[in-house]
C-alpha cells in the first residue's frame, strides 16, 4: 500500500513548525507499519497533549487524542479490552515523563503489549519553550532564563528499570535506523519503548544556540554513537543509540486471559 | 425458578446491577468507602469473560475505562471523594468526546482526606461542576439496595443512550449497609445497548454528526470505520477545530442532549405525598430517615411526605416545583451544607419556605434530627 494511504490527507498540512523532527518520526512510523503490512483497522494510535500528540490526527488508524500525560492509561484500556489490536502511543518528553511519568513506569511494569514512542525534543514546544524533565541541566528555556538546574531522566535506563521488555533509542537524523527499531518494537510482544531524539529548532534550538534544523540534525549525527561501536568505546560521553533491551516476559493481556480461564473454571466447579 | 435473593452491602448491590446491565470492563484504584465494588468485580468479571484492572491511580482508572469504552465495551469505575476529584479532567474528556461510561462515587466526608469511613453527601455540586467548562452531566442516586441495583442498571442505560459519563452518587451508609436484594431475572429489567452505525464499509462515517434526534451512532475501535477522538472542539469527523460555528454548535449539543431530556432522565419516588402539607425532599441514605419520620407522623395523622430524588443532575426543577406547589413548608434533608437546598429554593415559588435539615458530622442524619426542626417550623416549639 502506498505510504500516503496511511495518512489522512484531508487534515493536511500538519501543524508542526518548519524543520521540526516530528514529521520525520511520522514518516519512520508509517514506513514501519507499511513494511509490516498491517491492516489499518487493527491499529489504534493513542496520544496525549503537545506537539507530538497531534501525530494521531494525521494517521488513518483508529486515533485517540487524549489528555496531557495520560495516553498510556487510555491505551491500556483499549489494549486490555481488545487485545488483538496493535496499540501505538507516541508521546512528547513532557507528556511521557513529567505529567505522565507514573503511567510510563507502570505500563512498563505490567509489560502490556503497547508500543510507546518518546519523541524527545527536550522542550515543551506547544506552550512556547519551557524546560522538560528531559532537558537536563544547563539548558535555556522560557522558564529557565538562567539555565536549568534539573537533572534529566535517561529514558532508556528508566524504561529498563521499570520492566519494559523492548527498549531502543534513535534520532530524527537516523531515519532508517528509527524505522527498523519501530518495526521491531511494533512486532515485539510486551511493552516496548523507542526514544527518538527530535529537533525543535523553534524553541530548543533558538534558545540554546543550536542553529537551524540542519545544524541540529548534524548534532544528532555527531553527538550519538551506535551501541557496541568503536566510536562509543572511544568517546563514552556520546549518547548511545541502538536496542538496549529485547527480552521475553509474560505479557499482561495474555496473563489476564489465564485469570479468566481460572475464574471460569472455578465458577463451573 | 425461584428468585435470587441476597443479603449484601450496597456496594455489592451496585456490582450486581452493573453485571446485570452488561458490564465488560472495570478499572479502579482502592479507596474507602467504595473499595468493595472493586473487590467484588475483580472476582466476578473474569467469571463472565470480562476484564478487571487495578490501575496505578485514580486518573489512570478513569482514562482506562474511556479507552475500553471505545472498543465497544460497557465500562465502569468506582471511587470516593479524593479519587473523584482526581478523575474530573478525564470525566470532562468523556463529556467532550461523548464516550459512555459509569462512575460510582460512594461519598465520604470532605474536603480533602476528610472523614474517609463516615457518611456525607458533599459531592453533589462536584458531580455537576467538578470538571472545567460548560457541560451537562447525569447523576443518579438511591436509598436502598433494590434501588441501588436498579439505578445502576439505569446508569449504564443512560450512558449508552446519551453517550455520556453517568455518575452514581452513593454514600458510605448505602455502600456499607447490609440489606436484602432480590436480583431480577434476565429480561425483567430493560437493558440498553449503544447505537452502532449502519454506515457500510468504505462509506464516509461521521462519528460526530448527530442524527435528527440528536443521537450519534458509534463505531467500535477495531471496526471498519477509522476516526479521530479528541478532547478538543472537533468537527463531524472528530478532527480538531476552533471554527466559531463548530465550537458553538458542539457545546450547545453537549448541553442540550441532556438538559433537553430532563423529563426522560428524571427518576424519583413519592412517599406519603398525597395531600402533604410538609414535604421533605431527600435522597440517598438521608431519605431513609425522612421516610421513616414521614411514616411515623402519618400514623399520627400529620400530613407529611417525602419526595425522594433518584436523579440529581440534570436537576428535576419542574418536578420539584410541581410536587411542592401546595406545601406549607419544604424541608431539604441532606448531609451537606445545602447543595440540593439551593436547587430546591430555585425551583419552588416560595423559597422562603424551604428549610435545610442537615447533618455534617459524619453521622447519619436521624428521624429525630429532622423532627426537631420540623417542630420549630410547625410552630410547636423546640
Q: What is the pLDDT of residue B1?
A: 47
Do B167 and B105 form a contact (C-beta atoms < 8 A)?
yes
B217 three-state secondary structure: coil
CA dihedral B93, B97, B103, B107 (to 10 degrees): 40
Q: Which of B59, B67, B115 is nearest to B86 (CA)?
A: B59
Do the Cβ atoms of A74 and B63 come within 8 Å? Answer: yes
Of B183, B216, B245, the last residue of a domain is B183
B179 shares a domain with B288 = no
Q: Rounded to whole angstroms, how far apart are CA atoms A134 and A112?
A: 24
The answer to whether position B315 is within a domain reads: yes
Judge whether B200 lies within some domain: no
> Mean pLDDT throughout B362-374?
97
CB B28: neighbour CB atoms within 10 A?
A: 28
Nearest to A64 among B65, B229, B239 (CB): B229
Task: Give the strand order in the sheet containing B278-282.
Answer: B268-271, B304-309, B278-282, B329-334, B354-358
| B10, B133: one domain | yes
Instruction: Test A73 with B75 for CB contact under 8 angstroms.
Output: no
pLDDT for position A260: 98
- Using pLDDT thresholds of 50, 70 and 90, give the confidence band for residue A10: confident
Residue A7: Cβ-neighbour burial (10 angstroms; 0-12, 13-18, 19+): middle
B106 strand-pairing partners? B170
- Average pLDDT (B301-308) is 98
- Grid cell, residue B305, equals 411526605
Instruction: Determine the distance in angstroms separating the CA of A138 from the nearest CA of chain B, rounded to an integer.
Output: 33
Long-range contact pairs involving B321-325 (C-beta distance under 8 Å, separation at least 24): B321/B347, B321/B348, B321/B349, B323/B270, B323/B273, B323/B279, B324/B279, B324/B281, B324/B348, B325/B349
Q: List the grid coordinates of A108.
A: 512498563
Tell me the Cα Rg of chain B.
21
Q: Is B208 on the interface with A (CB under 8 A)?
A: no
Indicate yes or no: CB of A82 within 8 angstroms of CB of B222.
yes
Q: Please check whether residue B140 lies inside any domain of the structure.
A: yes
Rg of chain A over all Cα atoms, to the nearest angstrom? 19
> What number is the average pLDDT over the span B25-40?
98
In a domain, B35, yes or no: yes
User: What pLDDT score does B3 carry?
Assistant: 72
Q: Smallest Cβ distance to B89: which of A61, A67, A74?
A: A67
Contacts of A44 in chain B (CB under 8 A): 221-222
The ipTM (two decimal places) reads 0.97
Residues B176 and B322 in one domain: no
Going by their DSSP bridges, the two strands A62-65 and A43-47 should be labelled as parallel
Residues B142, B32 share a domain: yes
Instruction: Give the residue-averaged pLDDT of A60-73.
Output: 98
Cell output for B262: 430532563
Per CB-CB distance under 8 Å, the chain A contacts of B228 are: 8, 56-57, 63-65
Cβ <8 Å between A103 and B47: no
B22 touches chain A (CB under 8 A): no
The backbone torsions φ and ψ at residue B276, rounded to the nearest 5 degrees and listed phi first, read -65, 130
B25-28/B51-54 β-pairing: parallel
Provide the strand spans (E) within B111-245: 115-119, 138-140, 165-171, 178-183, 228-230
Nearest CB neighbour to B229, from listed A11, A65, A266: A65
Q: Hey, what's the cell of B377?
A: 417550623
Residues B173 and B28 in one domain: yes
Which helix (H) or strand (E) is B2 found in, with range? Answer: none
Query: CA torsion sign, A103 to A106 to A112 to A117?
Result: positive
Yes or no: say if B275 and B303 are a contact pair by the CB < 8 Å rule.
Answer: yes
Comparing alpha-carbon positions, the chain A residue that sits nearest to B91 is: A67
- pLDDT tens, residue by residue, A149-183: 999 999 999 999 999 999 999 999 999 999 999 99
Residues 6+ apart with CB under 8 A from A154: none
Give A226→chain B minimum CA distance, Å: 35
pLDDT in tens, B233-271: 999 999 999 999 999 999 999 999 999 999 999 999 999
The answer to whether residues B9 and B108 belong to one domain is yes
Q: Are A90 and A47 in contact (CB under 8 A)?
A: yes
Q: Which domain holds residue B59?
A: 4-183
Q: Is residue B328 part of a domain?
A: yes
pLDDT in tens, B311-341: 999 999 999 999 999 999 999 999 999 999 9
CATH number reported for the structural domain that contains residue B339 in this entry: 3.40.50.920
From B132, B162, B183, the end of a domain falls on B183
Same domain, B159 and B33: yes
- Contact between B234 and A96 under an 8 Å Cβ cutoff? The reply is no
Helix (H, G, I), strand (E, B) or coil at A112: coil
DSSP state string for B283-321? -HHHHHHHHHHHHHHHHTT--EEEEEESEEES--HHHHH
A66 with B63: Cβ contact below 8 A: yes
Query: CA–CA separation, B87 vs B65, rounded Å?
Result: 11
Pick the residue with more confidence: B198 or B213? B198
Per the CB < 8 Å rule, is B70 touching A78? yes
CA distance B59 to A185: 27
β-pair partners for B196: B218
Contact (Cβ atoms closer than 8 angstroms) between residue A181 and residue A168: yes
Position B2 scores a pLDDT of: 56
As a whole number of angstroms, the distance between CA B129 and CA B124 comes to: 9
Give residues with Cβ within 8 angstroms of B297, minimum separation 6: B304
Query: Of the residues B152, B183, B214, which one is the last residue of a structural domain?
Result: B183
B231 domain-assigned:
no
A11 CB neighbours in chain B (<8 A) are 239
Same domain? B175 vs B285: no
Residue B224 included in any domain? no
Instruction: Spell out which residues of chain A touch residue B226, defining contact as CB-CB under 8 Å.
Output: 40-41, 60-63
Q: In this complex, which of B68, B89, B224 lies closest to A78 when CB atoms are compared?
A: B68
The span from the CA of B274 to the CA of B281, in Å, is 14
CA distances from B100 to A62, B32, B346 (A): 18, 25, 30
* Confidence (pLDDT) at A269: 84
Looking at residue A2, its pLDDT comes to 86
- What residues of B are in contact with residue A76 (Cβ under 8 Å)? 27, 53, 55, 60, 64, 67
B233 and chain A: CB distance < 8 Å anywhere? no
Chain A residue whose CA is closest to B44:
A263
Q: What is the 3-state secondary structure (H, E, C) of A16-34?
A: CCCCCCHHHHHHHHHHHHH
Candidates A75, A199, A26; CA nearest to A125 is A199
Examine the pLDDT at B382 and tell me if it is beyond 90: no
Q: What are phi and psi of B108, to 5 degrees?
A: -130, 175
Whether residue B221 lies within 8 A of chain A, CB to CB, comes out as yes
Cell of B110: 470532605
Nearest-angstrom CA–CA distance, A214 and B76: 49
Q: For residues B171 and B40, state if they share a domain.
A: yes
Q: What is the pLDDT of residue B110?
A: 96
Instruction: Check if B25 contacts A (Cβ < 8 Å).
Output: yes
Q: Are strands A123-124 and A130-131 parallel, antiparallel or unpaired?
A: antiparallel
The answer to whether A30 touches A7, Cβ cutoff 8 Å, is yes
What torsion do the CA atoms of A28, A33, A35, A39 make, to the nearest 10 degrees? -160
| Domain architecture of chain A: domains with CATH | 3-268 (3.40.50.970)
At A1 the pLDDT is 83
| Chain B residues lying within 8 Å of A78, measured CB to CB | 67-68, 70-71, 221
Minimum Cα–Cα distance from A265: chain B residue? B47
Backbone angles phi, psi at A114, to 5 degrees: -130, 145
**Which residues, at least 6 apart from B150, have a Cβ–Cβ distance to it below 8 Å?**
B17, B142, B189
Looking at the structure, tell me whether residues B146 and B48 fall in a common domain: yes
- B61 and B179 assigned to the same domain: yes
Total domains present in chain B: 2
Q: Are residues B286 and B175 in the same domain?
A: no
User: Which residue in B has a C-alpha nearest to residue A60's C-alpha?
Assistant: B226
How many contacts, defined by CB atoms under 8 Å, are there between A and B?
A: 133
Amino acid at each position: 500500500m502506498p505510504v500516503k494511504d496511511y495518512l489522512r490527507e484531508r487534515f493536511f498540512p500538519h501543524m508542526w513548525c518548519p524543520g521540526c523532527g516530528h514529521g520525520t518520526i511520522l514518516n519512520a512510523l508509517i514506513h514501519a507499519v507499511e513494511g509490516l503490512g498491517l491492516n489499518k483497522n487493527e491499529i489504534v494510535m493513542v496520544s496525549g497533549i503537545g506537539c507530538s500528540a497531534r501525530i494521531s490526527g494525521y494517521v488513518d488508524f483508529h486515533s485517540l487524542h487524549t489528555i496531557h500525560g495520560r495516553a498510556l492509561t487510555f491505551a491500556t484500556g483499549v489494549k486490555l479490552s481488545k487485545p488483538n489490536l496493535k496499540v501505538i502511543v507516541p508521546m512528547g518528553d513532557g507528556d511521557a515523563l513529567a505529567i505522565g511519568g507514573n503511567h510510563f513506569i507502570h505500563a512498563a511494569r505490567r509489560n502490556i503489549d503497547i508500543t510507546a514512542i518518546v519523541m524527545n525534543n527536550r522542550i515543551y514546544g506547544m506552550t512556547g519553550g519551557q524546560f522538560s524533565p528531559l532537558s537536563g541541566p544547563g539548558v535555556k528555556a522560557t522558564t529557565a532564563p538562567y539555565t536549568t538546574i534539573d537533572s534529566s531522566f535517561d529514558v532508556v535506563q528508566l524504561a529498563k528499570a521499570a520492566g519494559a521488555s523492548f527498549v531502543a533509542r534513535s534520532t530524527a537524523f537516523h531515519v532508517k535506523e528509527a524505522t527498523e527499531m519501530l518495526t521491531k518494537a511494533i512486532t515485539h510482544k510486551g511493552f516496548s519503548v523507542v526514544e527518538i531524539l527530535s529537533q525543535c529548532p523553534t524553541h530548543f534550538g533558538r534558545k540554546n544556540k543550536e542553529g537551524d534544523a540542519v545544524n541540529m540534525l548534524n548534532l544528532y549525527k555527531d553527538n550519538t554513537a551506535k551501541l557496541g561501536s568503536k566510536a562509543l568505546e572511544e568517546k563514552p560521553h556520546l549518547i548511545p543509540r541502538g536496542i538496549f533491551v529485547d527480552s521475553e516476559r509474560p505479557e499482561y493481556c495474555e496473563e489476564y486471559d489465564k485469570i479468566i480461564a481460572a475464574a471460569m473454571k472455578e465458577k463451573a466447579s | 425458578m425461584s428468585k435470587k435473593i441476597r443479603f449484601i452491602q450496597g456496594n455489592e448491590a451496585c456490582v450486581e446491577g452493573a453485571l446485570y446491565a452488561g458490564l465488560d470492563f472495570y478499572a479502579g484504584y482502592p479507596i474507602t468507602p467504595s473499595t468493595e465494588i472493586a473487590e467484588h468485580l475483580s472476582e466476578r468479571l473474569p467469571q463472565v469473560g470480562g476484564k478487571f484492572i487495578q490501575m496505578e491511580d485514580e486518573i489512570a482508572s478513569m482514562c482506562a475505562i474511556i479507552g475500553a469504552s471505545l472498543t465497544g465495551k460497557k465500562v465502569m469505575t468506582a471511587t470516593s471523594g479524593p479519587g473523584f476529584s482526581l478523575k474530573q479532567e478525564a470525566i470532562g474528556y468523556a463529556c467532550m468526546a461523548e464516550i459512555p461510561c459509569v462512575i460510582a462515587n460512594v461519598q465520604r466526608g470532605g474536603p480533602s482526606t476528610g472523614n474517609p469511613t463516615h457518611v456525607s453527601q458533599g459531592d453533589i455540586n462536584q458531580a455537576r461542576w467538578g470538571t472545567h467548562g460548560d457541560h451537562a452531566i447525569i447523576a443518579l442516586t438511591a436509598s436502598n439496595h433494590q434501588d441501588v441495583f436498579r439505578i445502576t442498571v439505569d446508569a449504564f442505560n443512560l450512558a449508552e443512550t446519551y453517550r455520556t459519563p453517568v455518575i452514581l452518587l452513593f454514600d458510605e451508609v448505602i455502600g456499607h449497609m447490609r440489606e436484602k436484594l432480590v436480583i431480577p431475572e434476565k429480561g425483567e429489567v430493560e437493558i440498553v445497548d449503544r447505537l452502532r452505525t449502519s454506515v457500510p464499509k468504505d462509506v464516509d462515517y461521521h462519528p460526530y454528526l448527530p442524527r435528527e434526534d440528536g443521537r450519534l451512532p458509534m463505531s467500535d475501535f477495531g471496526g471498519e470505520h477509522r476516526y479521530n477522538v479528541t478532547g478538543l472542539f472537533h468537527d463531524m469527523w472528530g478532527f480538531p477545530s476552533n471554527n466559531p460555528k463548530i465550537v458553538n454548535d458542539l457545546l450547545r449539543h453537549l448541553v442540550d442532549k441532556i438538559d433537553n431530556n430532563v423529563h426522560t432522565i428524571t427518576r424519583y419516588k413519592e412517599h406519603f405525598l398525597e395531600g402533604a402539607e410538609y414535604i421533605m425532599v431527600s435522597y440517598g441514605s438521608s431519605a431513609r430517615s425522612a421516610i421513616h419520620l414521614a411514616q411515623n407522623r402519618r400514623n399520627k395523622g400529620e400530613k407529611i411526605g417525602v419526595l425522594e430524588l433518584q436523579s440529581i443532575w440534570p436537576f428535576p426543577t419542574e418536578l420539584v416545583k410541581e410536587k411542592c406547589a401546595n406545601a406549607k413548608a419544604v424541608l431539604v434533608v441532606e448531609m451537606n451544607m445545602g447543595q440540593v437546598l439551593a436547587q430546591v429554593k430555585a425551583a419552588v415559588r416560595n423559597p422562603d419556605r424551604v428549610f435545610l435539615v442537615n447533618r455534617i458530622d459524619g453521622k447519619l442524619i436521624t428521624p429525630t434530627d429532622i423532627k426537631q426542626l420540623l417542630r420549630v417550623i410547625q410552630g410547636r416549639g423546640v
